[in-house]
Chains A and B, each alone.
Chain A
Amino acid sequence: MSQIPVFFGVLRYEFWMQFRRRALWITIICFILFISWRGFGGIFRELIGNPFHFQLLPFIADWTSSINAIFPIAIGVLLADRLPRDRRTKVDELFTTMPGKLSTRLVGKYLGSTLATLIPVFAIYSIGIGCILYQNHDLSIIPMALATFAVIALPGILFVGAFSIACPSLLWVPLYQFLFVGYWFWGNLLSPRVGIPTLSKTILTPIGGYMATGFFGDPYGQPGATPLQGVESIILLLGITVLVMVTLWGLMKWQQARQ
Chain B
Amino acid sequence: MRRLLLIAGWAALVALLSSSVLATVGLGFTPEHIPSLAAPLQFITGQLTWLAPLLWFVALGLCLAPLIRSRAATAALLSGIWIIETIWKDYFAYYDWLHPVFLFPTTTLPLVGPLPQVYYTLWLSNRFELIGTALVLLPIGWLLLHNPEGLLKGSSEE
Contacts and interface: CB of A to CB of B under 8 A. Distances in A.
Given A81-B158, A85-B158, A185-B83, A30 B77 contact: yes
Contact of A26 (B68, B81, B82): B68
Given A22-B70, A35-B84, A181-B83, A77 B158 contact: no
A23 interface: yes
Interface string B40-73: 0000000000000000000000000000111111
A77 B76 contact: yes
Contact of B91 (A38, A69, A185): A38
B86 interface: yes
A27 B73 contact: yes
Given A22-B70, A26-B68, A34 B76 contact: no
A174 interface: yes
Interface residues of B, number: 21
A73 B81 contact: no
B139 interface: no
B132 interface: no
Interface residues of A, number: 29
B80 A81 contact: no
A78 B76 contact: yes
Interface in A28-72: 30-31, 34-35, 38-39, 69-70
B79 A181 contact: yes
A182 to B, nearest CB: 9
A74 interface: yes
A10 to B, nearest CB: 20
A106 to B, nearest CB: 20
B75 interface: yes
Contacts of A21: 70, 157
B68 A23 contact: yes
Interface of A: 21-24, 26-27, 30-31, 34-35, 38-39, 69-70, 73-74, 77-78, 80-81, 85, 173-174, 177-178, 181, 184-185, 189
| Leading 7 A-B pairs by shortest Cβ distance | A23-B70, A23-B73, A77-B76, A181-B79, A27-B73, A74-B76, A27-B76
13 contacts: A22-B69, A23-B73, A27-B76, A34-B80, A35-B84, A38-B88, A70-B80, A77-B72, A80-B72, A81-B72, A177-B76, A181-B83, A185-B82
